[in-house]
Amino acid sequence: SRFETCWPALMKDSHGVIIIFNPELPSHLKEIEMWYSCFVQQQPLLDSQCLLVAHHKPGSAGDTENLSLAYPLNKLKLIHSNLEEDPEDVRMEFIKYFKSIINIINESREREEMSIIS
């Protein structure tokens, strides 16, 4: 990708990664493996710091709802977003995700402080 030179700057000190893709495009399913590898595994971030969002465009085929991803993507939290039908659901999932990231940040900060003290 032509933006690859920017990736290190994007990744620096990041605490979470949200990967949004179109589940109807087979090419996207291959690409998300690459994004996961670069942005999550190589950092390294925990799988719980990554959220996959399968975004369904208005009027798209609904049969991708029961999407089964291969390992290692199947270990990640996957939500389906369809802003026509259920924007509130997506909002709640985002809030849950952000809360979990904040918990991870706070826990690692506490660990750092304890290691300085001891």
Q: Which domains does the chain have, with CATH numbers?
A: 7-117 (3.40.50)
**Residue 1 predicted with pLDDT over 60:** no
50-55 β-sheet, strand order: 17-21, 50-55, 77-81
Range of 6-20, 56-70, 91-105 with top mean pLDDT: 91-105
| pLDDT on residue 36 | 94
Q: What is the amino acid identity at position 100?
A: S
pLDDT tens sequence across 15-44 = 999 999 999 888 888 899 999 999 999 888
- Per-residue pLDDT band at 53 (split at 50, 70, 90): very high
CB atoms within 10 A of CB 1: 10
Cα separation, 23 vs 80, whole angstroms: 9
Cα separation, 80 vs 18, whole angstroms: 13
